[in-house]
A and B are shown apart, each in its own frame.
Chain A
Amino acid sequence: DTAVSQTPKYLVTQMGNDKSIKCEQNLGHDTMYWYKQDSKKFLKIMFSYNNKELIINETVPNRFSPKSPDKAHLNLHINSLELGDSAVYFCASSNSFGQTTNEKLFFGSGTQLSVL
Chain B
Amino acid sequence: AQKITQTQPGMFVQEKEAVTLDCTYDTSDPSYGLFWYKQPSSGEMIFLIYQGSYDQQNATEGRYSLNFQKARKSANLVISASQLGDSAMYFCAMREGLNGNKLVFGAGTILRVKS
Which residue numbers of A lie inside 8 Å of B, CB to CB? Answer: 31, 33, 40-45, 48, 50, 55-56, 88, 90, 92, 97-107, 109-110, 112
Partner of B96, one of A43, A44, A101: A101
A-B contact count (CB 8 A): 67
Q: Is the pair A42, B50 in contact by a Cβ cutoff of 8 Å?
A: no
Q: Is the pair B107, A40 in contact by a Cβ cutoff of 8 Å?
A: yes
Closest Cβ of chain B to A42, distance in Å, is 6
A40 vs B108: C-alpha distance when bound (angstroms): 9
Set of chain B residues within 8 Å of A41, measured between Cβ atoms = 39, 89, 107-108
A19 vs B78: C-alpha distance when bound (angstroms): 41
A103 vs B43: C-alpha distance when bound (angstroms): 22
With both beta carbons as reference points, the residue of chain A lying nearest to B100 in the complex is identified as A98
List 6 other contacts, CB 8 Å, given A48-B102, A103-B33, A107-B44.
A40-B107, A41-B89, A43-B91, A48-B101, A98-B99, A106-B47
Partner of B103, one of A40, A45, A88, A100: A45
Q: Is the pair A109, B100 in contact by a Cβ cutoff of 8 Å?
A: no
Some 13 contacts from A to B, beta carbons below 8 A apart, are: A41-B108, A43-B108, A44-B105, A45-B103, A48-B102, A50-B101, A56-B102, A98-B99, A101-B31, A101-B52, A101-B96, A103-B100, A105-B47
Instruction: Decide if B64 is an interface residue (CB 8 Å cutoff).
Output: no
- The 10 tightest CB contacts between A and B, nearest first, are A98-B100, A101-B33, A107-B45, A98-B101, A43-B105, A104-B47, A101-B95, A48-B101, A110-B43, A102-B33
